[in-house]
Amino acid sequence: MTEEREALIAAVREFADAELAPNAARWDAEKHFPTDTLRRAGALGLGGVYVREDFGGSGLTRSDAVAMFEELAKGDTAIAAYISIHNMVAWMIDTFGDDVQRERWVPGLTEMTDLGSYCLTEPGAGSDAAAITTSASRDGDDYVINGVKQFVSGAGSSAVYVVMARTGEPGAKGISAIVVPDGTPGLSFGRNEQKMGWNAQPTRQVVFEDVRVPTTNRLGAEGDGFGIAMRGLNGGRLNIAACSLGGAQWALERALGYVRERETFGAPLATNQSIMFTLADMETELQAARALLERAAAKLDEGASDVVPACAMAKRFATDAAFNVANTALQLHGGYGYLHEYGIERVVRDLRVHQILEGTNEIMRLIVGRDLVNRL
Amino acid sequence: MKIIVLVKEVPDTYGERKLDLETGLADRAASESVLDEISERALEVALAHAGSADGVEVVLLSMAPESAAATIRKGLAMGAASAVHIADPALAGADLGLTARTLAAAIRRTGFDLVITGNLSTDGSGGVLAAMLAELLEVPNATALSSVEITADSVSGTRSTDDRAMRVSAPLPAVISITEALPDARLPNFKGIMAAKKKPFETLTAADLGIEPQDLSVASSIMTAIAEKPPRTAGVKITDEGDGGTKIAEFLIENRLA
């Protein structure tokens, strides 16, 4: 690691130690979304990690980003994961927006005074994202948007919604990416969903009833939306995987401390060979996941042609491995692992959803498998 | 105005801190090295003033092994304009006298209106360097300040002692030391970290400053003995039989901890 990246990671670690870790249990229990803390994350530079610098981004690489999200997640996995989604939104506007759009939305997003939400999934369209039915019909210089988006992180608190909506034919080619600012008439939100984990960030439906925005809010050309959504998800998958890794690494370190100190049958747990083997497997799985993740991040940085399967396999492997490691850390803690107080069960609950979102791990296998079969 | 802030890399107080029994030096490999928190607070005093007044330049100064460069750069990331790093193996194990002579030479070379130090490092815990520097630089000295106000031509503050607080002030140039009553330092942000690598960073040797570390004509301290820290013994257990509070108070008084 270069000295500069070490300094950047150290700054993220200090932030996670001071601002996230001491509050994670309370935010989970109280379902509190700490928007003030997020503003401080923005001041640090976490609002647009790989957004260009001219409108306030940090201009760093994807390789920097995965190392940062791992550190953040050691403090609070659910908040780290929200920051990951926010970064995906900021990057999409920065990358596909024109200068007028960038100047309007990117500064607030990078400072995290404005939060971002990504609206793709619908009640009737999840893995089959090209089947979305939310429509944006042309009316003069406006789009009129109607439909419902499901499982939207940050919904109700965000200032900026990047919405995938149908502007044309059925299928992937008829979708456009449109920015809808909070407060636009006709925009409303469902209740804060009751979830297994990720309690520190709100998840709501976003409802569009004749929501009128100018066509100049569209990112890229009409019909580019699906491609934009998918390109956003490449990096999103890496960051979510990095969040998994951080949560699991934290759980492993806790488990290590516990098995060294906890005595059973007259000796510390750690002297038991079955415990030793378990720890070795946990460490190996996480190292392998990190290597796969760093490889995919490097490919994204250099624009390699096989970036899509590289991100998909890293996401699939890391989120599965990390969930298993966290769950094993819970088991190693015995009954204490099941108590809120120890924090392990919270990480297990938070990490479970990483196997589902940003593309389920089944879809990840489909991407990797299709690429393999088509290549041969 | 030029403010020089003395910063020091120290072993992290969260870790095990050890002395090398052969050399008597701190065993730097035994724990993580960090920027001393009191150095960060001293830097915060300077940066806060630089943020509120025009034309204030904040320079970091450190005498430390070459490996401390990354730690010093953290001070640049926090907002200092430049750094002077005196890195010379011949200065390893320097006593306070040699340290003060070397730092004073570097301060004169850089030029200064105000020098800010922590009152006491967490490793050496000498607590006299600020006074030694003021003596060598022939400027006024205000130590252990728990509040600091800087103007274009003076520095003043509150000096806390065991039984009362005093208001002290001095015309510039001057040397002050501050206590941990002053605010925590700001966290460096990514922009600061990226900018730090482009800021002037000067590395000097003792010879560059005209200092002869082995000069035997100057009085210096010698170490006569060093020993391993005694192993931790079991603590005293006070059982509460209705008089637990009194017993604890007696214990604290007896051990001069009250």
DSSP secondary structure of A10-26: HHHHHHIIIIIGGGHHH
Among A4, A18, A45, select the one facing B189 at the smallest CB separation: A45
- Interval A313-329: pLDDT, tens: 999 999 999 999 999 99
- Interval B65-76: pLDDT, tens: 999 999 999 999
Query: CB neighbours (10 Å) of residue A132?
Result: 27
Q: Does B14 touch chain A (CB under 8 A)?
A: no
B55: left (phi over 0), alpha (psi -120 to 50) or beta: left
- Interval A228-239: pLDDT, tens: 999 999 999 999
The helix/strand/coil state of A164 is: strand
Query: CB neighbours (10 Å) of residue B181?
Result: 13
Question: CA of A197 to nearest chain B CA: how many angstroms apart?
Answer: 30
Query: CB neighbours (10 Å) of residue B10?
Result: 23
d(CA A182, CA A159) in angstroms, rounded, equals 5
Check residue A124 and report its DSSP letter: T
**Domains, chain A:** 3-115 (1.10.540.10), 117-223 (2.40.110.10), 226-375 (1.20.140.10)
Query: CB neighbours (10 Å) of residue A210?
Result: 12
List alpha helices for chain A, DSSP H: 3-15, 24-30, 35-44, 62-75, 77-96, 99-111, 225-261, 273-302, 307-332, 344-352, 361-375
Residue carrying structure tokens 């290597």: A291
**pLDDT of amino acid B126:** 82
Copy the structure tokens of residue B95: 């006593």
What count of residues does chain A have? 376
Reported ipTM: the value is 0.86
For chain A, positions 325-364, list CB contacts with chain B under 8 A: none
A75: closest CA among A124, A116, A110, A40? Answer: A40
- Interval B33-56: pLDDT, tens: 889 999 999 999 999 999 999 999
Burial letters for A335-369: b for 16+ Cβ neighbours within 10 Å, e otherwise?
eebeeeebbbbbbbbbbbbbbebbbbbebbeebbe
- CB < 8 Å to B197, chain A: 4
Q: Residue A141, CB half-sphere, CA atoms under 13 Å: how many?
A: 3
Beta bridge partners of A135: A146, A166
Mean pLDDT of A116-122: 97
The helix/strand/coil state of A365 is: helix
- Asked if B193 lies within 8 A of A11 by C-beta distance, the reply is yes
Among B70, B188, B197, select the one facing A11 at the smallest CB separation: B188
d(CA A78, CA A319) in angstroms, rounded, equals 14
Question: CA of B210 to nearest chain A CA: how many angstroms apart?
Answer: 31
3-state helix, strand, coil in chain B (%, to 5): 30, 25, 45
Mean pLDDT of A334-358: 97
Residue A265: is its pLDDT beyond 80? yes
A117 vs B125, residue with greater confidence: A117
Residue B256: is its pLDDT beyond 90? no
- Interval A22-38: pLDDT, tens: 999 999 999 999 999 99
d(CA B108, CA B96) in angstroms, rounded, equals 18
Mutation target for B interface from A1, A2, A8, A40: give the one with most B CBs within 10 A.
A8
Whether the bond between B173 and the residue before it is cis, its omega within 30 degrees of 0, is: yes
Domain ranges of chain B: 2-209
List the single residue in B with minimal CA-CA distance to A64.
B190
B167, B146 contact by CB (below 8 A): no
Mutation target for B interface from A44, A61, A69, A110: give the one with most B CBs within 10 A.
A44
- CB < 8 Å to B189, chain A: 11, 43-45
Question: CA of B188 to nearest chain A CA: how many angstroms apart?
Answer: 7
Annotated active-site residue in A3, A53, A358, A362: A358
Annotation marks residue A358 as catalytic: yes
- CB < 8 Å to A46, chain B: 190
Element at A165 (helix H, strand E): strand A160-166
Mutation target for A interface from B34, B35, B193: give the one with most A CBs within 10 A.
B193
Burial letters for A288-321: b for 16+ Cβ neighbours within 10 Å, e otherwise?
ebbebbbbbbbbbbeeeeebbbbbbbbbbbbbbb
Confidence of residue B227 (pLDDT cuts 50, 70, 90): confident
Give domain B2-209's CATH architecture.
Answer: 3-Layer(aba) Sandwich (3.40)
Residue A375: is its pLDDT beyond 90? no
**pLDDT of amino acid B75:** 95
A324: closest CA among A364, A362, A354, A295? Answer: A354
